C-alpha cells in the first residue's frame, strides 16, 4: 500500500493489529514515535503537533500489548525480537527512511531496530534509556541496579497487577514518586487499568529472559541523538556517560532539567533539541 495520499490508522503483522496516530502533512518526512511503559501513543500528542507544524509527518504507534487488538497471550510473545519486527513492518509500509524516536521501552525497541535495519533509519532519537550495553555496564559500576529494582518486581506473576489494580495507593505512588503528574496518572487509570492493558504491558518486562544477546554490544551505525533528564529516577548518570561508546556514527547528547517523562512534560524542549540536531 502507498501512504503518500492517505492516512494510516492501523497496520497488521501476522494476526495482530496495531493502532497508529498519523498526523501532519502527507508529504512530510516521516517520524515514527514509540512510547514506553506505562503510557500509550497519546503521550506523543504535543510533540507530534510541534513536529507537524514544522512540516514533518508523525506516526505514533500503540505497540504490542498496548494496541487492544495486539495483545497475544504468554510472556514469550513480548520478546525483543517480536517487538522489533512489529516496527519493521511499519517501516516497510512507510517505504522511506524515517526519524525513529523512542522513549523508555520505546527507546529499547528503537535501539534494536536501528541496529538491525540501519538503512531504514535517517536519524535515531532515544529518550531516557541508553543502549542496553551501556545500561548493563552501569549496573556493575554504579547505583543503577538499585534504581532498577522494579524490573525484578515485574518478573513476578500477578503481584504487579495487584499493586496497580487493587492497591493503587502503592502502585500509583511509585509512578508519582518518579515524577508523573496528576494528569498523567489519570491517563494511566483510563488507558492501563480501565482498558486492561496493564498485564500485557508488564509482559515486556517478563519477556526479558527471552531477549537475544546477539546484538548486546553491537554498535549503532546511524546518526543518534540521546536525551536524558537529570532527575530521572529510573536511569542513572553512569549509563548516560557510557552510551556514546556504543554509537559508531555522529552522536549528540542532551541532558535536560527533567524527570523520566520527557515527551509529556518537556515536549517543547524535546522537539527543539530534535529539530536543531536533524537540522
Question: Please, are residues 234 and 147 in contact by the beta-carbon 8 Å criterion?
Answer: yes
Give me the pLDDT at residue 39, please.
Answer: 98
91-96: Cβ within 8 A, 24+ apart: 91/32, 91/117, 91/120, 93/1, 93/3, 93/8, 93/11, 94/3, 94/30, 94/32, 94/59, 95/2, 95/3, 96/30
Inside any domain, residue 265: yes
**Residue 121 CB neighbours (<10 A):** 24
**Which segment of 30-44, 103-117, 199-213 scores lowest on mean pLDDT?**
199-213
CATH number at residue 160: 3.40.50.1820
Inside any domain, residue 141: yes
Does residue 181 or residue 4 have the better pLDDT?
181
Instruction: Show the domain range for 198.
Output: 10-278
What domain count does the chain have?
1
The CA-based dihedral angle spanning residues 236, 44, 111, 216, taken in that order and rounded to the nearest 10 degrees: 50
Per-residue pLDDT tens over the stretch 15-39: 999 999 999 999 999 999 999 999 9
Inside any domain, residue 1: no
* pTM (predicted TM-score): 0.96
Per-residue pLDDT tens over the stretch 132-185: 999 999 988 898 888 887 888 888 889 999 999 999 999 999 999 999 999 999
> If pLDDT is split at 50, 70 and 90, which confidence band does 211 have?
confident
Give me the pLDDT at residue 80, please.
Answer: 95
Amino acid at each position: 500500500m502507498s501512504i503518500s495520499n492517505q492516512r494510516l490508522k492501523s497496520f497488521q503483522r501476522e494476526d495482530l493489529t496495531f493502532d497508529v496516530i498519523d498526523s501532519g502533512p502527507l508529504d512530510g518526512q516521516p517520524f515514527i514515535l514509540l512510547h514506553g511503559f506505562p503510557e500509550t501513543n497519546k503521550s506523543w500528542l504535543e510533540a507530534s503537533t510541534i513536529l507537524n507544524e514544522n512540516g514533518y509527518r508523525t506516526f505514533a504507534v500503540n505497540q504490542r500489548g498496548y494496541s487492544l487488538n495486539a495483545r497475544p497471550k504468554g510472556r514469550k510473545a513480548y520478546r525483543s525480537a517480536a517487538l522489533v519486527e512489529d516496527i519493521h513492518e511499519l517501516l516497510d509500509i512507510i517505504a522511506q527512511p524515517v526519524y525513529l524516536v523512542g522513549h523508555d521501552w520505546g527507546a529499547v525497541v528503537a535501539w534494536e531496530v536501528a541496529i538491525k535495519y540501519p538503512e531504514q533509519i535517517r536519524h535515531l532519537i532515544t529518550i531516557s534509556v541508553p543502549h542496553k550495553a551501556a545500561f548493563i555496564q552501569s549496573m556493575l559500576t554504579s547505583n543503577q541496579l538499585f534504581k532498577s529494582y522494579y524490573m525484578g518486581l515485574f518478573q513476578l506473576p500477578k503481584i504487579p497487577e495487584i499493586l496497580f489494580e487493587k492497591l493503587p495507593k502503592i502502585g500509583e505512588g511509585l509512578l508519582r514518586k518518579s515524577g508523573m503528574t496528576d494528569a498523567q496518572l489519570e491517563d494511566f487509570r483510563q488507558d492501563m487499568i480501565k482498558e486492561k492493558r496493564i498485564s500485557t504491558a508488564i509482559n515486556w518486562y517478563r519477556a526479558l529472559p527471552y531477549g537475544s544477546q546477539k546484538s548486546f554490544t553491537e554498535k549503532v551505525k546511524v546518526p543518534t541523538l540521546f536525551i536524558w533528564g537529570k532527575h530521572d529516577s529510573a536511569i542513572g548518570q553512569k549509563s548516560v556517560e557510557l552510551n556514546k561508546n556504543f554509537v559508531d556514527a555522529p552522536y549528540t547528547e542532551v541532558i535536560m532539567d527533567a524527570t523520566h517523562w520527557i515527551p509529556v512534560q518537556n515536549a517543547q524542549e524535546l522537539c527543539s533539541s530534535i529539530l536543531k540536531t536533524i537540522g
